[in-house]
Chains A and B, each alone.
Chain A
Amino acid sequence: MRRALGAWTGIVLVALYLPIVVTGVFSFNDSKAMRWSGFTLKWYEEVFRDHNLRDAVTKTFLIAIPAALLSTVLGTVAALAARERFRGKKLYNTLVALPVMVPDIVLAIALLTLFYAVAVPRSLGTAVVAHVTFDLAYVAIVVSARLQGLDRSVELAARDLGATAWGAFWRVTFPAILPGILSGAVLAFTLSFDDFVITYFTAGTGNTTLPWRIYSLMGRFGVTPEISAVSTMILVASAALIVAALKLAKVPVGGGGR
């Protein structure tokens, strides 16, 4: 039984990671063909020389960072609000979580139509707003999960001992849910970073982002070693980000003291 489970785990891991490994390997392949013909770093050099790609990376960050920050704040507040009792709470919860279920293309067209209807020219700003609409839902869900594991009596005890509502939040609640907030922020950033559909329709002109560029390069040239090189770099960077987030998330309850 154990052995079977182990083998199955192995198969799943291979299925998950083999494509990624292959992409990484071919980014160092000397030839454009899908046959190994020697080690090279030339594709990475080309990626760094390509100023269009550099611009695309900048634009991607200009959208993903503000969108992640804004949606983290709003999503956390939304999750906190969901703890209280009020009328229409069920509807509220559904509405907050809905963008997770709505297909990207539907959300993209809806936002584009809205911006057009109210005559807001599309720009990086509208793209950030668009991203916040779906990032927020993910942050709210992640933070809510964390809040559910938090015993409310701890906060009440803080209030009993003389903390203000604000003080109790910052000294008790916030440190306790910080890991959730951080993972929500990382999730929001990652979602924004690789979003293509919504960005394409809401970012206006002159704002080609990295996924947008990769998508159009693949449309014209197929999978090229340069694209493999970019993908490998994104992969390494996001892995580093996730490891950092996990490390950060180990903040002890009660905060400080480290």
Chain B
Amino acid sequence: MKRVLLALVALGGCSQPQPELYVFNWADYFAPDTIANFEKEFGCKVKVDDITSSEALRAKMQLVPSGYDVVFVNDELMPTFVSSGWLEKLDPAKLPNLKNVAPKFRGLAFDPKNEYSVPYMWGTTGIAYNREKVSPAPDSWAALWDPKLSSRTTMLGDPREAFAAAIWVEGGSPLQLTLESIEKAAKKLMERKPLAYNSAPKEMLGSGDAWLSQCFNGDAVQAADKASIGYVIPKEGGTLWLDNLTIARGARNPGLARQFIDYILRPDVSAAISNAVFYANPNAEAEALISKEVRENPLVYPSEADLKRCSFLVEPSPEVKKKLQDLWAKVRAQ
């Protein structure tokens, strides 16, 4: 008996422990088999934790090492993550599938050489509206200032997006924020009756409490399960958002993390994710494999014409950023 036990112990000691990969991602933001297939192919164990909010993500990444290997970071957070040194360099040479990413999603302002990040999924910010209650469809950001609908309107509780809408209404461009333009936008925001700011109005849209909401297209997709929801990119313009794959500084297994990121960049893997989560894909090679249901969904993929009016918001200068925060506090306090 003793000998059997000893043999077992020896066996246990001999076999290599399975490498582990710790991933920090938004809940259900993979296809159901994305992780299982990777584990099988690379003989490892992947543990995924759910990100609950951008703020909570930041709080956790601040303490290096966070314990995570692969972390999902959106374009807005990227400048902070890079400048704070919370990310490991990617080494594009070790990511042969990086070439699959459409050129327009490579080398963006927050990471010009893709040293730290690889695009994952993208989308837009526009106006979602209840098709039974709002007619005709809104076509301008000015709709958010419509006094008739003010009790049914929400705006994003994010200063950059809220100010962008106000600046567009004023005829300016949110891409070059100046102290002057944000002062003016703050006045415009204060013109509205105090009303709901909501960063994820899917519940309100779905239940019919909100009829008109500035929101991320993903929230419109979720709300459309519950109500008849239309989504427009206003004529003045819309913003683009992008989630990125990154490697956390102090990752325990950076090699496996790179393999994971390269795996996600495979056309079939990437397309399967889009098909499951209903988000637009920056992977040019994956495009053909994306189901019609997703590819032709106007809530997911804007038309070419709409897309032309969309752009990424740019990180403002520190001076403007500070002022933006002060003004935002004033707007919210009114």
| Residue B68 lies at the interface, judged by CB distance under 8 Å to chain A | yes
Q: Count how many pairs of residues, one from A and one from B, have CB atoms less than 8 Å apart in the complex.
A: 73
* A74-82, A184-192, A199-207 - the one binding chain B: A199-207
- Whether B63 lies near A116 (C-beta < 8 A) is yes
Cβ contacts under 8 Å, B53 to chain A: 219
| Residue B206 lies at the interface, judged by CB distance under 8 Å to chain A | yes
- Whether B50 lies near A206 (C-beta < 8 A) is no
Near A by CB (< 8 A), chain B positions 156-208 give 200, 202-203, 206-207
Cβ contacts under 8 Å, B63 to chain A: 112, 116
- Whether A217 lies near B28 (C-beta < 8 A) is yes
* B222-230, B285-293, B299-307, B315-323 - the one binding chain A: B222-230
Interface majority SS (helix, strand, loop, mixed), chain B:
mixed
- Measured CA separation A219–B63 after assembly (Å): 24
- Measured CA separation A219–B201 after assembly (Å): 10
- Whether B226 lies near A206 (C-beta < 8 A) is no
Given A116-B63, A216-B52, A219-B200: A32 and B226 interface contact (C-beta under 8 Å):
yes
| Residue A40 lies at the interface, judged by CB distance under 8 Å to chain B | no
0/1 per residue, B19-37, Cβ < 8 Å to A?
Answer: 0101010111100000000
- Whether A206 lies near B49 (C-beta < 8 A) is yes
- Whether A215 lies near B48 (C-beta < 8 A) is no
Near A by CB (< 8 A), chain B positions 49-105 give 49-53, 56, 59-60, 63, 66-68
- Whether A208 lies near B49 (C-beta < 8 A) is yes
- Whether A222 lies near B203 (C-beta < 8 A) is yes
0/1 per residue, B235-246, Cβ < 8 Å to A?
Answer: 000000000000
Cβ contacts under 8 Å, A221 to chain B: 27-28, 202, 222
0/1 per residue, A6-42, Cβ < 8 Å to B?
Answer: 0000000000000000000000000011100000000
- Whether A34 lies near B27 (C-beta < 8 A) is no
- Whether B59 lies near A216 (C-beta < 8 A) is no
- Measured CA separation A225–B203 after assembly (Å): 13
| Residue A167 lies at the interface, judged by CB distance under 8 Å to chain B | no
| Residue B113 lies at the interface, judged by CB distance under 8 Å to chain A | no
- Whether A222 lies near B27 (C-beta < 8 A) is no
- Whether A205 lies near B68 (C-beta < 8 A) is yes
* CB contact between A220 and one of B27, B60, B68, B223 (< 8 Å): that residue: B27
Given A33-B225, A219-B53: A52 and B48 interface contact (C-beta under 8 Å):
yes
| Residue B47 lies at the interface, judged by CB distance under 8 Å to chain A | yes
CB distance from A197 to the nearest CB of B (A): 9
- Whether B48 lies near A219 (C-beta < 8 A) is no
0/1 per residue, A211-227, Cβ < 8 Å to B?
Answer: 01101110111110000
Given A206-B49, A208-B50: A34 and B207 interface contact (C-beta under 8 Å):
yes
- Measured CA separation A147–B309 after assembly (Å): 71
| Residue A122 lies at the interface, judged by CB distance under 8 Å to chain B | yes
Cβ contacts under 8 Å, A213 to chain B: 27, 50
Cβ contacts under 8 Å, B47 to chain A: 205-206
- Whether A223 lies near B27 (C-beta < 8 A) is no
- Measured CA separation A212–B48 after assembly (Å): 12
Cβ contacts under 8 Å, A252 to chain B: none
Given A219-B200, A222-B203, A222-B206: A205 and B67 interface contact (C-beta under 8 Å):
yes
Given A216-B27, A223-B203: A204 and B67 interface contact (C-beta under 8 Å):
yes
| Residue A254 lies at the interface, judged by CB distance under 8 Å to chain B | no
Cβ contacts under 8 Å, B28 to chain A: 52, 217, 220-221
Given A34-B206, A121-B67, A217-B28: A205 and B49 interface contact (C-beta under 8 Å):
yes
CB distance from B334 to the nearest CB of A (A): 27
- Measured CA separation A204–B24 after assembly (Å): 11
CB distance from A65 to the nearest CB of B (A): 21
* CB contact between A32 and one of B22, B56, B67, B225 (< 8 Å): that residue: B225
Cβ contacts under 8 Å, B59 to chain A: 201
- Whether B52 lies near A200 (C-beta < 8 A) is yes
- Measured CA separation A201–B47 after assembly (Å): 17
CB distance from B47 to the nearest CB of A (A): 3
Given A205-B22, A221-B28, A222-B203: A33 and B49 interface contact (C-beta under 8 Å):
no
CB distance from A121 to the nearest CB of B (A): 7
List 8 tightest A-B contacts by C-beta distance, closest first: A206-B47, A216-B50, A205-B67, A216-B27, A205-B22, A222-B203, A33-B226, A32-B225
